[in-house]
């Protein structure tokens, strides 16, 4: 194996260490094939399913794993022995295909529809975690040892419930944006001949336009989560509210984090064990100075250090966002996900340190993926109550089955009566509490 291949293997062994808390050398010694370097990343990416041996069927999906074609072994025999599993895991984890697309076309930020023609199977499962589970099993067989004895016990899944605090009052900008979004969806549904569903969206638009409920849901959320033994993250806006551009006024939250009673409510949450992070402004996704300034405002309001963040509107670029966040003093990001669909954007449910550029040194900042958001279930899909519950279970069950780490978003203000999304939040809490009890 080349020097680069060895460096890649060591990097991945560290990022996947939750699956082998001891005896990582057993993984490094596996006879994993090494695929040749490709001259260019094929776009859209091409995939094949590599069948796994029977003794690791629990790591597979319908008998195999989805692998980028250039890393898969050829032939009709035991292709898994000729597959570059380390290469495939890194390809997913560090978004190789998206990075290539970004170099050619600029960031898609977090809209999967901009990746036209891409195979959605790549986002359906935590493929990296499943590769890790397979490699763990293989290493134990090679050493003729029990997995837990050799490598340590498997970890429990970690599902982080988070709340992006986009509003504490119903501003004119929010009223306009959500009403327009409901109207757009009504037209889209009508064009598909779904008159009844279009009518429901129009009714929702009217309700949203003419009502003014209370969005200050901090106490409501804390009480509901305390009753179920759940604590969450709140990501709060630290940007300015005066003297800003029309674009910023339209796209950014309208509250001042240093004004009472917002600051007092946030300090009470922090005192109670909830985590508070930064929700940077729309334009700050690659600006370390702006990120640092907004981080400092939230820290003044809390009288505490802030180390975690999630970008507003999930504004994100693979080459710039994490580096800007790190330069601003942040150590954890929960942005990596899609606005317009649930799923595993980098094929992983894993807290990991992204690679720094083309080398194999990890960045100092860690990333936790976001796999499910409230608007996926309400704005981007026309689902009934039972269908929403099944969707929640689907994504949470994949994280749990792979012993992974991921976050979900339920915006704080959507508990307001004009949204009507509180039953979904209560259902999500019940699912998280059940898993916690298990």
CA distance 313 to 279: 9
Q: Please report the DSSP string for 17-74 in residue order.
A: GGG-SS-THHHHTS----PPPPSS--SS--EEEEEPPGGGGGGSBTTEEEEEGGGSPP
The pTM is what?
0.94
Residue 178: per-residue pLDDT = 79
Report whether 232 contacts 269 (CB < 8 A).
no
Query: Could you tell me if 254 and 173 are in contact, meaning their C-beta atoms sit under 8 angstroms apart?
Result: yes
DSSP state, residue 321: H
Phi-psi region of 158 (alpha: psi -120 to 50; beta: other; left: phi over 0): beta
CA distance 260 to 258: 7
CA atoms within 13 Å, Cβ hemisphere of 68: 27
Predicted pLDDT at 435? 59
Among 409, 437, 436, residue whose Cα is nearest residue 424: 409
**What single DSSP character describes residue 2?**
-
- Expressed in angstroms, the distance from the first to the final Cα of the chain is 43
Tokens 């899909």 -> residue: 381
Are 275 and 233 in contact by the 8 Å Cβ rule? The answer is yes
Task: Read off φ and ψ for residue 160, nearest 5 degrees.
Answer: -90, 120
Report the distance separating Cα 407 and Cα 125, nearest Å.
15
Is residue 233 within 8 A of residue 333, CB to CB? The reply is: no
Distances (CA, A) of 320 to 99, 115, 354, 359, 363: 11, 19, 12, 15, 12
Residue 45 makes CB contacts below 8 A (sequence gap 6+) with 68, 97, 118, 119, 122
- The percentage of residues in the chain with a pLDDT greater than 70, rounded to a whole number, is 98
What pLDDT band is residue 118 in, cutting at 50, 70 and 90?
Answer: very high
Q: Measured between alpha carbons, how far is 377 from 387 in angstroms, rounded to an integer?
A: 9
Gap between the Cα atoms of 229 and 231, Å rounded? 7
Do the Cβ atoms of 344 and 126 come closer than 8 Å? yes
pLDDT in tens, 265-301: 999 999 999 999 999 999 999 999 999 999 999 999 9
Closest CA to 281 of 312, 317, 246: 312
Provide the pLDDT for residue 76.
Answer: 66
Alpha helix segments (H runs only) across 272-340: 288-302, 321-327
Is 197 buried (19+), middle (13-18) or exposed (0-12) by CB count in 10 A? middle
Interatomic CA distance for residues 380 and 171, integer angstroms: 23
- CA 166: distance to chain centroid? 18
Average pLDDT, the chain: 94
Identify the CA nearest to 374 among candidates 348, 408, 405.
408
Tell me which CATH homologous superfamily contains domain 158-170+212-437. Answer: Glycoside hydrolase/deacetylase (3.20.20.370)
Q: CA geometry: angle at 276 spanning 159 and 320, to 5°?
A: 80
Distance CA 356, CA 336 (A): 16
Phi and psi torsions of 278, nearest 5°: -95, 140
313-326 average pLDDT score: 98
Rounded mean pLDDT of 376-381?
Answer: 93
Of 292, 278, 316, 308, the closest CA to residue 164 belongs to 278
Q: What is the pLDDT of residues 209-231, one digit of tens each?
A: 788 788 989 999 999 999 999 99
Please say if the pLDDT value at position 195 is more than 60. yes
pLDDT tens string 62-94: 999 999 999 998 766 799 999 999 999 999 999
Q: What is the pLDDT of residues 390-433, one digit of tens each?
A: 999 999 999 999 999 999 999 999 999 899 899 999 999 999 99
Domain boundaries, the chain: 3-151, 158-170+212-437
Q: Which pLDDT score is estimated for 212? A: 76
- List, in sequence order, every residue forming a beta bridge with 1; answer none if it has no partner: none
């Amino acid at each position: 194996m080349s020097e680069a291949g060895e460096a890649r293997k060591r990097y991945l062994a560290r990022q996947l260490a939750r699956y082998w808390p001891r005896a990582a050398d057993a993984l490094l010694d596996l006879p994993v094939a090494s695929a040749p370097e490709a001259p260019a990343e094929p776009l859209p990416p091409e995939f094949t399913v590599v069948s796994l041996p029977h003794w690791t069927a629990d790591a597979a999906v319908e008998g195999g794993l989805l692998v980028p074609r250039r890393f898969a072994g050829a032939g009709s025999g035991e292709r898994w022995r000729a597959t570059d599993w380390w290469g495939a895991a890194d390809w997913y984890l560090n978004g190789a295909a998206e990075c290539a697309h970004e170099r050619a076309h600029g960031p898609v930020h977090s809209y999967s529809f901009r990746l036209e023609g891409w195979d959605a199977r790549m986002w359906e499962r935590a493929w990296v975690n499943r590769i890790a589970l397979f490699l763990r099993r293989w290493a134990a067989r090679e050493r003729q040892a029990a997995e837990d004895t050799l490598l340590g016990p498997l970890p429990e899944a970690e599902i982080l419930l988070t709340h992006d605090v986009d509003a504490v009052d119903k501003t004119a900008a929010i009223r306009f944006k959500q009403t327009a979004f409901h109207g757009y969806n009504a037209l889209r549904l009508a064009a598909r001949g779904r008159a009844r569903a279009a009518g429901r969206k129009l009714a929702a638009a009217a309700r949203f336009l003419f009502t003014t409920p209370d969005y200050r849901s901090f106490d409501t959320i804390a009480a509901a989560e305390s009753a179920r033994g759940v604590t969450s993250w709140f990501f709060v806006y630290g940007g300015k509210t005066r003297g800003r551009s029309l674009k910023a006024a339209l796209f950014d939250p309208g509250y001042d984090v240093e004004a009472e009673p917002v600051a007092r409510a946030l300090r009470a949450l922090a005192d109670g064990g909830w985590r508070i992070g930064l929700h940077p402004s729309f334009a700050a996704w690659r600006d370390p100075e702006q990120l640092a300034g907004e981080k400092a405002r939230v820290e003044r309001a809390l009288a505490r250090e802030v180390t975690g963040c999630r970008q507003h509107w999930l504004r994100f670029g693979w080459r710039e966002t994490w580096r800007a966040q790190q330069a601003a003093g942040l150590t954890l990001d929960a942005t990596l996900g899609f606005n317009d669909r649930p799923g595993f954007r980098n094929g992983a449910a894993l807290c990991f340190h992204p690679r720094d550029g083309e080398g194999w040194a990890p960045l100092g900042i860690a990333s936790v993926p976001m796999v499910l958001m409230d608007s996926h279930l309400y704005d981007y899909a026309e689902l009934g109550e039972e269908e929403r519950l099944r969707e929640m279970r689907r994504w949470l069950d994949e994280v749990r089955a792979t012993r992974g780490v991921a976050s979900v978003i339920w915006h704080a203000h959507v508990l307001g009566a004009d949204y009507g999304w509180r039953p979904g939040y209560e259902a999500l809490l019940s699912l998280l509490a059940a898993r916690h009890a298990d």
